Chain A
Amino acid sequence: MSQASYGYGKGAPVLINVDLDIRKGDVVVIKGASASGKTTLAKAIAGFLSPDRGVVDRCGRVNLLVNKGLGLKPSLSLYDNAMIRYLNFNSSLSTSRRKVRNILSFAKLDDRSHAALSSLPSLLKSRFALCLYLLNSYGLLVIDENIGLSDPEFREEVDDIVRYLMEQSDALVAFSRKRTPFDAYSNRAFTIESGRLIAR
């Protein structure tokens, strides 16, 4: 992305002259306050916005996570929710059951697999949502939210998940307002202020 500016319609540009080069194996952390342009940059990297000015070259697959609770239905069981998530992004019906059971076991929620998602305490809901990331493999993974968890019984697994995401993706870009679990692994860091990207 070279000297790229982005805006919505005729309003003022949201991103101004952004230079960003992401290569295979990179773990990039971009921090910024609310309304600084993080989500717009995430969508721009993923290719869902055309630049008003500048050049963008993109190769390979991009996955943009903008919602941890993607497609989750509170009235359905954990098992059904995990199946729905899996089948939305994978075509193999035969491996879905095995993979979903493994995920529930990893999340230490296999004894609750038939309980409704709404019946879970919020900490376990978060844990479940986080573990659903393990159902997919990724190209360039762009995470537009803080997925750090403060689940004291799950700290080691959170670390495992972070490492899994980095291993399973070609490169990773994490956007956040504050600390993220990716900070410890990042090889490049930026801040975004009023639509301008600044290397740290």
Chain B
Amino acid sequence: MLSGPFLKLVFSPFREFLSAWKLVQLEANVRYKKTNLGIVWYLLAFVFKVAVLGGVYTKALGKPPAEYLPYLVLGVSLWGFVSGSIQYGCVALINNEKFIYFDNARLFFFVFKGVMREFLFASLLMSWSLFLTCVLTDVAVVSLLLFMLGMALVFVAVYLVACILAFICLVRADVTHFISSMMNVFFIATPIIWDSSDAPGLQKLMVYNPFYYLIEVMRSPVLGRELPPTLYVFFIVLIPVLLLLLWGCSKLVRKGFASYV
């Protein structure tokens, strides 16, 4: 089932990390071509969002800004990566149809490329968020290492989810819209703007929210918070399950790709 060649195919884009990074940089230039500020617009959009959310919620939740702002900026920047990658996954194969015709051995690379693009933008925000957090709070070196570990786990998990959705959305276009709606719902339902300690009644429900783990595995170490005991267990279970699902989904469409696009 999960044979060596299949795993090799799924993870082969990771060996091309540097060229994928260069490629998404080149492609990202198109988005901000002819603007004076270039990619700074992306940072500004984030700053505006965080400024408004921070202003409103520090008042509404009565939180000290020095404690709440690092929580908020890390949460929003991580959510941008997770949500952007998952939504890109829904259109990855459809948008890259002609590239896939040209070389179908690189099917997974075209999903990887989109996840890398989201990672490129998110890494700008994350480095800015980390800088702000380091200025406002004390961050230990070990916390940064755990952050990196969390980032690697989230990257792999999000890439696999994007691959699965790429196949499913190719067959069922409705899923793209469903996922888009659900991402809006989960932005509210996941402790990104609000803290789970603000709503003790909801803490038990968080166990069932996969996005909670994806965010907290990176955010909690940096903020010096105790990591939920189930956090790494979640990833140990999640990644093999995602691989199995991906294997099943890829079997569904690989032979009849042209019928679906």
Give A residues with C-beta under 8 Å from B.
8-9, 40, 43, 46-50, 61-67, 70-71, 73, 75-76, 80, 83-84, 87-93, 96, 136
Report the nearest A residue to B98, measured CB to CB. A67
- Interchain CB contact under 8 A, B101 and A84: no
Residues of B within 8 A of A46 (CB): 101, 104
**Complexed CA–CA distance, A136 and B99 (Å):** 13
B260 CB, min distance to chain A CBs, angstroms: 10
- Interchain CB contact under 8 A, B23 and A84: yes
Q: Which of A47, A65, A91, A92 contacts B102 (CB 8 A)?
A: A65
**Complexed CA–CA distance, A87 and B103 (Å):** 13
Q: Is B137 interfacial (CB-CB < 8 Å)?
A: no
Give B residues with C-beta under 8 Å from A.
15-16, 18-20, 22-23, 26-27, 29-30, 33-34, 98-99, 101-106, 109, 113, 255-259
Supply 6 further A-B pairs (C-beta < 8 A) apart from A63-B102, A87-B19.
Answer: A48-B258, A73-B27, A83-B22, A84-B23, A89-B106, A90-B19
The DSSP consensus for interface residues of chain B is helix
The verdict on A62 contacting B30 (CB below 8 Å), with A48-B257, A67-B98, A87-B23 known, is no
A72 CB, min distance to chain B CBs, angstroms: 11
Residues of B within 8 A of A8 (CB): 259
Q: Which of A47, A87, A91 contacts B15 (CB 8 A)?
A: A91
**Complexed CA–CA distance, A67 and B102 (Å):** 9
**Complexed CA–CA distance, A70 and B99 (Å):** 7
**Complexed CA–CA distance, A89 and B20 (Å):** 10
**Complexed CA–CA distance, A47 and B106 (Å):** 14
A45 CB, min distance to chain B CBs, angstroms: 11
Q: List 29 A-B contacts (CB under 8 A).
A: A9-B259, A40-B258, A43-B101, A43-B258, A46-B104, A47-B255, A48-B104, A48-B258, A49-B256, A49-B258, A50-B256, A50-B259, A61-B103, A61-B105, A63-B102, A64-B102, A65-B101, A66-B101, A67-B98, A73-B27, A75-B30, A76-B29, A83-B22, A83-B26, A87-B22, A88-B23, A88-B99, A88-B113, A93-B18
Residues of A within 8 A of B256 (CB): 48-50
B17 CB, min distance to chain A CBs, angstroms: 9
A40 CB, min distance to chain B CBs, angstroms: 8
- Interchain CB contact under 8 A, A50 and B255: yes
**Complexed CA–CA distance, A48 and B29 (Å):** 32
- Interchain CB contact under 8 A, A89 and B30: no
